[in-house]
Amino acid sequence: MAGAKRATLKDVAAASGVSRATVSFVLNDTPNQSISQATRARILAVVRDLGYKPHGIARALREGTSRIVVLYIDSGLEGNYSRSYLRGLDEELAAHDHVLVVRHGPTGAGAEQQLRDAINPRAVVHFAEAYRTGHELEDRGGGRRDGLAAHTMLQIGCLAAHGHTRIALALPDAQAPLREIRELFSRQAAGELGLPSPVTVVVPRPRDAGTAAVAEFRGGHPAVTAFAGYDDDVALRTLTALHDLGVDVPGEAAVMGFDDTEYGALFTPALTTVHIDAEAHGRIAARDVLGLPTADLQAVPARVIERHTV
């Protein structure tokens, strides 16, 4: 049992007194094969005794793809969205006998191809693609129910509920991947609330650059009283800039985060933000790439975490 060479299908067949095909049939529940309960039970017992596990590589060669799915993720793992998404994706894949593996950083086409050549993954998922584009969730009604549009509405809505009408969307940089969609959804949300369209401000790193950017922005847009962060990071940078400028938050200006990180709670004043549980999004992504139905999966609604910056 210990240390021994790993058991192979042939071993199981030999020990059960049947052919390898038969073993394979019972292990895979192949339809239209009538194998007696007795043999079936005997084989299963041998499988257990020998600790037989199918050899993934051999299976992959035969089937054309391995039971691996790879997740490409470019952003960090600070926010709750990414963590819960990862958990959902991982668990759902595992439940369907697949294993998740992740690649970080920008996806060079070369690296992606290299990985494809190396393990023939069953599928590839790009982090939060459906959420980020809004498209797929939109098609299922999820965009406005539990997708980016809904979450943006939560953010803008919270600001509006506190009396703010001139809102700025704080962006990490001009090339932020979701910039356009976030601007769109923010505009729609403001529109529905009868507010003017949010303007946009880039709050870069490092600290003093962010402060300079916010100072300049405020000079040009004196009517703006609230900042809706693209994510918690940008919101925190904005909050810091405002602090460095001597602007009282929330007295003179409000700041709201997006996608709860652990750091927001630690700032003073602590960051008000929207908390998103994306486990269902991860599960849906898993089902999608496996070609399974997703109708029974329901995301839990996001919620505003009221702290002290609005």
Partner DNA sequence: CTGAAAGCGCTTACAG
Q: Which residues bind DNA (CB under 7 A)?
A: 8-10, 17-22, 24-25, 27-28, 30, 33-36, 39, 52-55, 58-59, 61-63
Strand pairing of 99-104 and 68-73? parallel
The least distance separating DNA from the CB of residue 199, rounded to whole angstroms, comes to 55
Q: Residue 123 CB, nearest distance to DNA (Å)?
A: 17
In the stretch 190-209, what mask flags binding to a second copy with x, by CB under 8 A? Answer: ---------------xxx--
Rg of the chain over CA atoms, in angstroms? 26
Is the CB of 25 or the CB of 267 nearer to a second copy? 267
Structure tokens at 199: 């303007």
Report if residue 95 touches a second copy, rule: CB under 8 A: no
Residues in the chain: 310
Helix H or strand E segment including 303: strand 303-305
Query: Strand ranges (DSSP E) for the chain?
Result: 68-73, 99-104, 123-126, 167-171, 199-202, 226-229, 254-256, 273-275, 303-305
Q: Output phi, psi for 74, to 5 deg.
A: -100, -40
**Interacting partner of 298 out of a second copy, DNA, none (Cβ under 5 to 8 A depending on kind):** none
Told to check if 105 binds a second copy by CB under 8 A, we report yes
The binder of 132, among a second copy, DNA, none, by C-beta within 5 to 8 A per type, is none
Contact 244, 51 (CB under 8 A): no
Binding mask 113-152 for a second copy (x = CB under 8 A): xxx-xxxx--------------------------------
CA distance linking residue 127 with residue 37, whole number of Å: 45
CB of 71 to DNA, least distance (A): 25
Instruction: Kindly state the helix (H) or strand (E) to which residue 229 belongs, with its residue range.
Output: strand 226-229
Q: How far is the CB of 15 from DNA (least distance, A)?
A: 13
Using alpha carbons, select from 126, 107, 58 the residue that is nearest to residue 285: 126
**String of DSSP letters for 72-110:** EE-S-S-SHHHHHHHHHHHHHHHHTT-EEEEEES---HH
| Bridging pattern class, strands 303-305 and 273-275 | antiparallel
Q: Which two tokens stand for residue 116?
A: 């494809």
Does 270 participate in binding a second copy (rule CB under 8 A)?
A: yes
Rounded to the nearest whole angstrom, what is the least distance from the CB of residue 287 to a second copy in the complex?
A: 19
Please identify, among the stretches 82-90, 131-139, 245-253, 287-295, the one whose residues bind a second copy according to the rule CB under 8 A.
82-90
Footprint on this chain of a second copy (rule: CB under 8 A): 53-58, 60-61, 66-68, 70, 76-78, 86-87, 90, 94, 99-105, 111, 113-115, 117-120, 205-207, 233, 236-237, 240, 243-244, 262-263, 265-268, 270
